[in-house]
Structure 1
Amino acid sequence: MRIGVFLVAAQFPGMDSGDVLRATVETIVAAERAGFDDAWIAEHHFMSYGVCPSATMLAGVALGRTERIRVGTAVSVLSNRHPVALAEEAAILHHTSGGRFVLGVGRGGPWLDLEVFGTGLERYERGFAESLDLLCAALTRPSVKAEGEFFRFREVPMSPEPPGLRPVVACTSAATASLAAERGLPMLLGLHIGDEEKAEMIGHYARACPKDVPAPGHVAAAVAQVADTTEQAVATLKARMPEWLRPGLAGYVPVDGRPRPATDVDAYVDRLCRIHPVGSPDHCAERLRRTVERTGLRHLILFVEGAGDPAATLENVARLGAEVLPLVRDL
């Protein structure tokens, strides 16, 4: 069983973005000390929901501050990046960290970063498979060239040497799960869905995966908040997370003016508290066991920033490591 932390560099009201980024790195250092296996950093642009615009760069900072823990991106947004440039960054982090870097990528959304970075809506809508294939080639082959719709260039040598990484792919739809399955790449499943939906996605993946490809180790995110009682943990998240989510989610601005999906923030937080390990140490452990039993997942990453304060996040990480992880390590 592998258990990590998942950090979005959430900017709660009253927090300075620089302080948030420094606190994110300190949380990863604390997670290593607490016995977590890995730490995953999210990438967002132009919003307070998450103030890390380069998950690879912040991962490099965290890798330089740690010795054992693996650090990954959850995710680097492939729709607004050149796949070869991202592969080069992954190679640097792999080689300089002794192989402790993990690359997670996702399609992203129809947001303003497509306009700002010039990649455009068409590549978001039609180009993810081409981008992913080029990325995989650049991560594993000594040289690459492209003759596709969105990328066309002569053959070039990869330098530094490709790390041989297999990226984890964020999957929020059956179509993306099928795309990952066809390539034998592991999925990253989000914290917005519960055990039943996760099991359905894993089942869909298994049906779409070629028979001769061994099943990869999927990763799934969950919210985790521990307190002396379940009531205290739930009350903490319900008091603080809506203050972050309301302005944060407003940062998702569609590039083409399409209606943005509405979110009932209070209902969303209530659901997260019900379906994830939010509660006493025993309750958190029971929820994690139930997820493993229902889904077969062996790798979970826990969102630990929900209390909205860096000191509280460090306390949450320490308590999860000391009081919850020992109860689930034998799963």
Structure 2
Amino acid sequence: MRVGMSCIFEGHEAASDEEVYRDELKLADLAEPLGFDALWGVEHHFTSYTMCPDVLQFLSYMAGRTERIQLGSGAVILPWHDPVRVAEQVAVLDIISSGRYIFGMGRGLGRIEFEGMRIPMDESRERFVEASQIILQALETGIIEYDGTYYKIPRRELRPRPTRGFDDRLYAAAVSPESVRIMADVGAGILINPQKDWMEVADDLDQYRQTFRELKGVEAPAPIVTGWVCCDEDEIKARDMAQEYIGGYYEYVLNHYELAGRHFDTTQGYEYYQRLSKAIHKHGSSKVVDNFIELQIWGTPEQCYERVLDIRSKVGNDGFNGVFSFAGMPPETAERNMRLFAAEVMPRLQQLDDTKAAS
């Protein structure tokens, strides 16, 4: 199994934004020497939920500070960008990193972000489909050209020319069944950010794999799972960390995405979140937070290892990305969390035979 780490740059009251960046970049610098296979970043805008408005800029910086580790975007939110610029940036990043870039893309969820980017949220599905077609064709052929509903691009040559294909390095963030079907059509593997029961995720993946086979004529790539990690030698301390930090993180998720908001009722393409919003109103946000904590990776190193194994048995992932710093976790706690996982959990995961994962 490939094991990565993700930097999310979550802001908090105890530190300035500049200090958050300093501390997160210190963790990012540890990823390669500690033996992680990949370093991932995210894209978000306008709040301190995660303060990385340009994930490709962050990864380009890290490409110059590393030599072997893969660099993944989890994800570039296509509806918010000019696809010409994304294609150019991806081509440059892949060249300067000597082919280490993993292209992860998504279609977005935060209303505050869509409004700030002046893009109607109702258009996200169609914009994602068109933009992905433009970008992937350009990266494959070196030519960018399109005549669609949202994008009309005259024929131009992409320079620098892309040097490698992305067939085995293409992923897309998907939580809802609606997104999963779209990603199968694109031909992307799935980046799973856990928000619902793992068996429900497994059901969505079954549909995705079937659709992928029908559309592409081959088996779908195994997904990659991201998990929020609280690892400590003391089981009680790890449990307390999970309650404080993982729970705190998901409370920010609820606020940033307005998951209890009624706007999903009238927004096309977000049917899953209409149901989630109703569940939050029915059961309360504390229940949803508790459920999220239970989906994550926390406990002693042995318990963390077993939790990843349990997830793998259900969804068949061949990659796991840990998030080790979030919700105002002190920098020294985050580094200790990451180092312990890297020393006692990661080597065992990296030795797993992917052929034995669920599919």
Could you state the TM-score of these two structures normalised by the residue count of structure 1?
Answer: 0.91
The structure 1 residue matched to 2:296, chosen from 268, 271, 276, is 276
Residue 5 of structure 1 is matched in structure 2 by 5
Structure 1, residues 299-323: CA drift from partner, whole Å, max 9, x if none? 1111211471222211111110101
Contact 2:213 2:220 in 1 (8 A): no
The structure-2 alpha-carbon separation of the partners of 1:297 and 1:50, relative to structure 1 and needing over 3 Å to count, comes to: same
Letter in 1 for 2:318: R
After TM superposition, list the pairs within 5 Å mapping 1:211-250 onto structure 2. Answer: 211=214, 212-243=217-248, 245-246=250-251, 249-250=254-255
Deviation for aligned residue 1:269:
4.2
Quote the residue 2:166 is aligned against.
165
1:313-324 matches, within 5 Å, as 313-324=334-345
Please give the alpha-carbon distance, in whole angstroms, between the structure 2 residues aligned to 1:169 and 1:245. Answer: 21
Q: In structure 2, what residue type is equivalent to 1:146?
A: Y
Contact 1:3 1:37 in 2 (8 A): yes
The alpha carbon displacement at 1:115 in A equals 3.2
C-alpha deviation, 1:293, in angstroms:
1.7
What amino acid does structure 2 have at the position aligned with 1:165?
F
Name whichever of 269-278 and 41-50 sits farther off.
Answer: 269-278
Structure 1 distance, partners of 2:341, 2:308, is: 12
The alpha carbon displacement at 1:99 in A equals 1.1
Residue aligned with 1:222, SS = strand
> What displacement does 1:228 show?
1.2
Deviations 1:242-268 (A, max 9, x none): 5555456434469x9826945855444
In structure 2, the residue matched to 1:182 is: 185
Cα shift readout 1:139-172 (whole Å, capped 9, x = no counterpart): 2112121110001121110111124224311112
Q: Which residue does the alignment assign to 2:319?
A: 299
Separation (CA, whole Å) in 1 of partners of 2:101 and 2:129: 23
Q: What amino acid is the match of 1:302?
A: G
Q: Which amino acid aligns with 1:318?
A: R
1:289 to 293, 299, 309: 309
Percent of pairs with identical residues: 24
Is the contact between residue 5 and residue 324 of structure 2 (CA under 8 Å) also seen in structure 1?
yes
3-state SS, counterpart of residue 224 of structure 1 = strand
Distance in 2 separating the partners of 1:118 and 1:89: 22
Cα contact 1:222–1:303 (8 A) shared by 2: yes
Query: Is 2:132–2:186's contact at 8 Å kept on the other side of the alignment?
Result: no
Q: 1:78 & 1:22 partners in 2: Cα distance?
A: 28
| Structure 2 residue runs without a partner (length 5+) | 265-272, 353-359
1:51 aligns with 2:51: yes
Q: Report the Cα distance in structure 1 between the residues aligned to 2:2 and 2:243, rounded to whole angstroms.
A: 28
Aligned with 1:15: secondary structure? coil
Quote the Cα distance in structure 2 between the aligned partners of 1:292 and 1:188: 13
CA distance in 1, matches of 2:219, 2:194: 25
Structure 1: segments with no counterpart, 5+ residues: none
Aligned equivalents of 2:236, 2:350: Cα separation in 1 = 25
* Bigger fraction of residues in helix: 2
Superposed displacement of residue 227, structure 1: 0.5
Partner of 1:208: 211
In structure 1, what is the Cα distance between the partners aligned to 2:314 and 2:141?
Answer: 38
Cα contact 1:237–1:306 (8 A) shared by 2: no
1:145 to 1:197, Cα distance in 2 relative to 1, 3 A = same
The CA distance in 2 between the partners of 1:304 and 1:107, in whole Å, is: 25
SS at 2:4 equivalent: strand
Distance, in Å, in 2 between the alignment partners of 1:278 and 1:242 is 12
Residues 213-253 of structure 1 show CA distances to partners (whole Å, capped at 9, x for unaligned) of 23223211112111012221120132234555545643446
Number of aligned pairs? 330
Q: Say what the alpha-carbon RMSD is for the aligned residues.
A: 2.4
- For 2:64, what is the secondary structure of its paired residue? helix
Please give the alpha-carbon distance, in whole angstroms, between the structure 1 residues aligned to 2:77 and 2:16.
Answer: 24
Instruction: Tell me the equivalent position of 1:326.
Output: 347
CA–CA distance in 1 between the matches of 2:68 and 2:339?
17
C-alpha separation in 2, matches of 1:276 and 1:76: 23
Conserved 8 A contact 1:242-1:266:
no
Structure-1 residue corresponding to 2:199: 196
For residues 28 and 38 of structure 2, the distance between their equivalents in structure 1, rounded to whole angstroms, comes to 8
* CA separation of 1:305 and 1:219: change in aligned 2, threshold 3 A: same
Distance 1:76 1:9, change over 3 A: same
Q: 1:257 to 1:286 in 2, by over 3 A?
A: closer
> 1 CA distance for matches of 2:175 and 2:252?
23
Separation (CA, whole Å) in 2 of partners of 1:128 and 1:236: 37
SS at match of 1:11: coil
CA shift for structure 1 position 198 = 2.6
